[in-house]
Chains A and B, each alone.
Chain A
Amino acid sequence: MSTLLFLTGEAFVNLRRNALVATGAVLAVFVSLALAFGALVFNELVRINTLQWQRGDHIIVFLKDEGGPVAHDQLLQEINEYPEVENAWYLDKAGAYQEFSEMYSDQPALAATVTAADLPASIRVELKDISEYQAVQFRLVGHPLLRRLSVFSEGIERLLSLTGVLNSIGLGLVVVLGASAVVLIANTIRMAIYARREEIAIMKLVGAGNWFIRVPFIIEGATVGLLGAGLAAAAVFVSHGLLERIPTDILIRFQVDQSFLTSRTILILGFGVLAGFIGSSFGLRRFLRV
């Protein structure tokens, strides 16, 4: 126990002596982890925003008047049984007129020219996964009751593939930047070993075991990782605070949950320490033959 305390003290003395290199390493780790953290937040923002877009009516099936409500109800039941469908409901002509009047409430002149009879009844479909809209479309095409099919947004598919790409890029960034933090720390530790090689030789000569020599370096690496990660977390918090000032828009949200930030902060800090351990272990690997 007192040995561990002593070795920790050694690690901090060495960090202070090596302040310049250590600071450089902390800053470098900070930059890569801040970018990695930023990428995580960005991914979350993309997820939140597409989630919002995903809400609501994905497909509107406008119906012909033939058959009346009975036939319409039959089709509604049919659609509700499609595996891709989360929920579907029926909006009759009166409902359609009400919706229409609400949509154009600022244009009463237009609303006045239209009556309930002019508007078709429709079935509104909410999908389990919006990327499956084509399957539903395929099932409905050619149905005798179908007047017109409207997919909520024609850009959905493009949007989805775009967010997919953004997500992959973000994840790729996280992996690469995390790895670079490990490599940076490994490099720093190797330089520290090189700078202290004579001292290490002396320590071995008076009987210091391998772990006695290694532990201070490992603590050093973990400290660098933790400091870099701490700075990264702070930077992300600050920039998220700035983003929060942007007023919320119906289309885009710039805020992520506090719980998301907290959990990812813990993750990043943990990763910083882990990167320190792994990095210093790599740095120490090829040395210490007696």
Chain B
Amino acid sequence: MIRLQEVSKVYDGGVVAVQKVNLDIRKGEFVFLVGPSGSGKSTLIRMCLREERVTRGTIWVAGKDITRLPTWRVPYLRRTVGTIFQDFKLLPNKTVAENVSFALKVTGCPRSIIRRQVNTVLELVGLSAKADRYPRQLSGGEQQRVTIARAFVNRPPILLADEPTGNLDPATSVGIMRLLDRINRTGTTVMMATHDFAIVDAMRRRVVQLDRGRVIRDESASGYEAPSKS
């Protein structure tokens, strides 16, 4: 589903954020991206969305080489990849329902289908009762559930999450992780960058650890820290 080959990213000014990363994430996998601050997690996710271009290497997303994607195709890439961020990125002047339906509107989806899909997904995240509220009228956890609903409403094969629990308390985070887990069980591939070791340790999924832009660990069913070699 996502494949990185010898991917490097050097920002203007010479900061090397990602160095020769090779990664192969198969359909339906749940992958944690861990590592200290500045190790290149966000950069890696942004490159998978074509928010940043790679400096070297190739990235395939859903079978397509996105490093050579013409600009006008980029919106289509983003419709196949749902995104969740620490700062939610909701449209402040739209209600919950409008925020979620926006992801379908951009595809030119007919209104009747949009309404049905939005209702279904708001039910999934438990926000049906708050469909007409504005983001500022919601708690952080609720806002994050809206972004999950938005990311998932058009059933993308891939979900990318950059510290989705970064602004939330542990109890709320658990709720968010349950949702992501449920979405993953429908066959959606999930890659999630996080600092939250409690979550990583609890979920026991594949863990890719970055350090200064390099992959230093890639283990399935693992925890936040490398298991001590005894």
Contact = CB atoms under 8 A, between A and B. Distances in A.
Interface of A: 2-3, 6, 13, 17, 199, 201-210, 212, 289-290
A206 B111 contact: no
A209 B103 CA distance: 11
B91 interface: yes
Given A3-B108, A212-B106, A290-B74, A206 B50 contact: no
B107 interface: yes
B148 interface: no
B93 A13 contact: yes
Given A2-B111, A3-B105, A203-B102, A208 B75 contact: yes
Interface residues of B, number: 26
A12 B51 CA distance: 29
Q: Which of A199, A202, A289 has the most CB of B within 10 A?
A: A202
Which applies to chain A's interface (DSSP): helix, strand, loop or mixed? helix
Contact of A210 (B50, B72, B93): B72
Nearest to B81: A207
Contacts of A203: 91, 102, 106
B110 interface: yes
Nearest to B156: A207
Interface in B69-115: 71-72, 74-79, 83, 89-93, 102-103, 105-108, 110-111
B150 A206 contact: yes
Interface string B4-26: 00000000000000000000000
Given A3-B108, A6-B105, A210-B72, A205 B83 contact: yes
A290 B49 CA distance: 10
B118 to A, nearest CB: 14
Q: Which of A203, A207, A208 has the most CB of B within 10 A?
A: A207
B75 A204 contact: yes
Nearest to B151: A206
Interface of B: 49-51, 71-72, 74-79, 83, 89-93, 102-103, 105-108, 110-111, 150
Nearest to A201: B89
A206 B49 contact: no
Contacts, number: 55
Contact of B75 (A201, A209, A289): A209
A31 B77 CA distance: 46
B93 A202 contact: no
A199 B110 contact: no
B83 A290 contact: no
A147 B72 CA distance: 83
B108 to A, nearest CB: 5
B89 A205 contact: yes
Nearest to B150: A206
Contacts of B105: 3, 6, 212
Contacts of A201: 89
B79 A207 contact: yes
Contacts of B75: 204, 207-210, 212, 290
A290 B89 contact: no
Contacts of B71: 289-290
A208 to B, nearest CB: 4
28 contacts: A2-B110, A2-B111, A3-B105, A3-B108, A199-B91, A199-B92, A199-B93, A201-B89, A202-B91, A204-B75, A205-B49, A205-B78, A205-B89, A206-B79, A206-B83, A206-B103, A206-B150, A207-B75, A207-B76, A207-B77, A207-B78, A207-B106, A207-B107, A208-B106, A209-B75, A209-B106, A210-B72, A212-B75
A208 B105 CA distance: 8
Contacts of B50: 290
Contacts of B107: 207
Q: Which 4 A-B residue pairs are closest in the complex by CB-CB distance?
A: A207-B79, A207-B78, A208-B106, A209-B75
Given A201-B89, A207-B75, A207-B79, 13 more contacts: A2-B110, A17-B93, A202-B91, A203-B102, A205-B89, A206-B106, A207-B78, A207-B106, A208-B75, A208-B102, A212-B75, A290-B50, A290-B71
A206 B102 contact: yes
Contacts of B102: 203, 206, 208
A205 B102 CA distance: 11
B134 to A, nearest CB: 13
Nearest to B49: A205
Nearest to B80: A207
B78 A206 contact: yes
Nearest to B85: A205
A203 B91 CA distance: 8
A270 B99 CA distance: 36
Contacts of A3: 105, 108
Contacts of A205: 49, 51, 78, 83, 89
Contacts of B91: 199, 202-203
